[in-house]
DNA sequence: GTCTATAGCTTGATAGAC
DNA sequence: GTCTATCAAGCTATAGAC
């Protein structure tokens, strides 16, 4: 052929959905075949490193999008409160109001892939750092407090996603988003 | 023989550790064999339902212990603040100060086991209800607010455990424990 | 109650034709 | 770039001896 049956983006979107909701071990190649419409050999043609390369590629892409589409907003000029509101809105959308799981959680159970593990850790820390920098610069919080507030904000979001997945209740996740201004801008003790 | 090589409790403790940190799909029988010191056939003699029965048994036992050793404390007589402090202390111990993962998170990725899923959901809701009842009875909070506060408290704990697993930072989890009095007893708006 | 041995399927991964 | 066909290794699960 020489012609792609599905675009790189289509395949990666499918892979992202699978890894998000089944984790690394739960995302078998047969599942991937069904979901992508590609046979094993075709998948290995695109990802020579096999399943691990798929996971790493997905992590990198999602982390990149997360940083540029949603965390970058925090550093732009303009009213801080408005930027944070917009960030919350995109967070809600990114996680499907809580219906979509977080790769940082579901993709890090497998201990056998240091590559995935390291990327998840880096992405999580960049997320927290972005929140902390915002709390410092726009919220006027001292550095140490800003970090703690940022950690707790991300923690609330991740916890909300766990509750949502296990019990189907999306309220805690949505409240975690609504609490962002309180967490990152309220003057601190 | 007719004699147990390892006690039921020993085996279940090992299984609990495995499921906690590898999830359902990540906990293979070969891993279980190595960790328990029992061969496949012996495991199937003890758990006729195979791996799923192991997971369900682990969930039931851990949820039972969690309820009786740690949530029951909230309903006992005596100073509420002191009871909550003690509960927090046991929570910290239960999760190894954040080093140990939560089964409700790591065991619920596998969609193929409704039995495990249902038990996790029930356990999570009982946990939240216990917190809410405490906030209502001892904190004097109105029912709806008590529920929201309880959800957010559990969410903070679960999120802290995710952060801890991914980045190794246990501070958010420990702060989530320290924040329990503030969350469940502070008079609310 | 534990063991050896094995069944049968699924896994991740390749080779080679088109 | 996708396909069919195939691989060894891994998996869950079972049979039967002791």
Residue B110's pLDDT is what? 86
- Does A21 fall in a domain? no
Residues of B in contact with A175 (CB under 8 A): 148, 151-152
Enumerate residues 6+ apart whose C-beta is below 8 A from A26.
B23, B24, B25, B109, B110, B111
- What span, in angstroms and rounded, lies between the C-alpha atoms of A29 and A184? 42
Cβ neighbors of A69 (< 8 A, separation 6 or more) are A90, A94
Within a domain: residue B29?
Answer: no
**Residue A183 · residue A81 · CB < 8 Å:** no
Is residue A46 classed as helix, strand or coil in its secondary structure? Answer: helix
- The pTM (predicted TM-score) of the whole model is 0.98
- On whether residue A122 sits in a domain, the answer given is yes
Rounded to the nearest angstrom, the minimum Cα separation between A3 and chain B is: 35
Residue B23 and residue B106 in contact, taking contact as beta carbons nearer than 8 Å: yes
Instruction: Count Cβ neighbours within 10 Å for each residue of B65-89 and write b for 16 or more, e otherwise.
Output: ebeeebbebbeeeeebeebbebbbe
Residue range of the domain that includes B174: 51-185
Total Cβ atoms within 10 A of residue B125: 16
**How distant is C1' of D11 from CA of A167, in Å?**
30
**pLDDT tens, residue by residue, A99-157:** 999 999 999 998 889 999 999 999 999 999 999 999 999 999 999 999 999 999 999 99
Q: Is the pLDDT of residue A12 over 70?
A: yes
CATH of the domain at A123: 1.10.357.10
B41 assigned to some structural domain: no
B4 in any annotated domain:
no
Confidence category of residue A1, pLDDT binned at 50, 70, 90 = low
Identify the residues numbered 43 to 102 in chain B whose C-beta atom is closer than 7 Å to any atom of strand D: 44, 48, 50-52
Distance A43 CA to C15 C1' (A): 15
pLDDT category at B112 given cuts 50, 70, 90 is confident
Residues of A in contact with B167 (CB under 8 A): 121, 124-125, 128
- pLDDT at residue A3 tops 90: no
In a domain, A95, yes or no: yes
Q: What pLDDT, on a 0 to 100 scale, did the predictor assign at position A103?
A: 98
Q: What is the CA radius of gyration of chain A?
A: 18
Locate the chain B residue with the closest alpha carbon to A103.
Answer: B166
Give the Å distances, CA to CA, from A164 to A12, B113, B124, B183. Answer: 24, 18, 11, 20
B119 in reach of chain A (CB within 8 A): no
Q: How far apart are CA B167 and CA A105, in angstroms?
A: 11
- Three-state DSSP class for residue A153: helix
Q: Which of A83, A5, A78 is nearest to A43 (CA)?
A: A5
Among B167, B171, B174, B176, the strongest candidate for a mutation testing the A interface, having the largest count of A CBs within 10 A, is B167
**Which residues have a Cβ under 8 Å from the Cβ of A40 and sit 6 or more positions away?**
A29, A33
User: Smallest Cβ distance to B25: which of A26, A156, A167?
Assistant: A26
Residue A39 lies in a domain: no
Question: Average per-residue pLDDT in chain A?
Answer: 96
Are A21 and B111 spatial neighbours (Cβ–Cβ below 8 Å)? yes
Q: Which residue is nearest to nucleotide D2 (CA to C1')?
A: A42
Is A171 in CB contact (< 8 Å) with chain B? Answer: yes
pLDDT band at A2 (very low <50, low <70, confident <90, very high): low
- Say how many Å lie between the first and final Cα of chain B, rounded: 65
Distance from CA of A52 to the nearest CA of B (A): 15
- pLDDT value, residue B124: 98
pLDDT at B1 over 90: no
Task: Please tell me the total count of domains within chain B.
Answer: 1
For B122-180, give the secondary structure using H, E and C: HHHHHHHHHHHHHHHHCCCCCHHHHHHHHHHHHHHHHHHHHHHHHHCCCHHHHHHHHCH
Specify if A106 maps to a domain.
yes
């Amino acid at each position: 052929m020489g012609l792609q049956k599905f675009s790189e983006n289509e395949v990666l979107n499918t892979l992202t959905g699978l890894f998000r909701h089944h984790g690394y071990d739960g995302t078998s190649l047969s599942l991937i075949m069904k979901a992508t419409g590609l046979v094993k050999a075709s998948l290995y043609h695109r990802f020579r490193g096999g399943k691990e390369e798929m996971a790493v590629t997905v992590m990198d892409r999602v982390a990149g999008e997360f940083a540029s589409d949603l965390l970058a907003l925090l550093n732009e000029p303009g009213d801080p409160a408005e930027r944070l509101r917009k960030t919350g809105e995109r967070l809600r959308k990114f996680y499907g109001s809580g219906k979509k799981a977080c790769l940082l959680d579901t993709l890090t159970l497998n201990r056998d892939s240091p590559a995935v593990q390291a990327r998840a850790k880096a992405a999580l820390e960049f997320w927290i750092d972005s929140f902390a920098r915002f709390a410092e610069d726009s919220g006027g919080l001292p550095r140490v407090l800003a970090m703690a507030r940022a950690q707790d904000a991300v923690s609330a979001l991740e916890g909300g996603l766990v509750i949502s997945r296990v019990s189907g209740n999306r309220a805690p996740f949505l409240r975690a988003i609504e609490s962002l201004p309180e967490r990152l801008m309220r003057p601190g003790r």
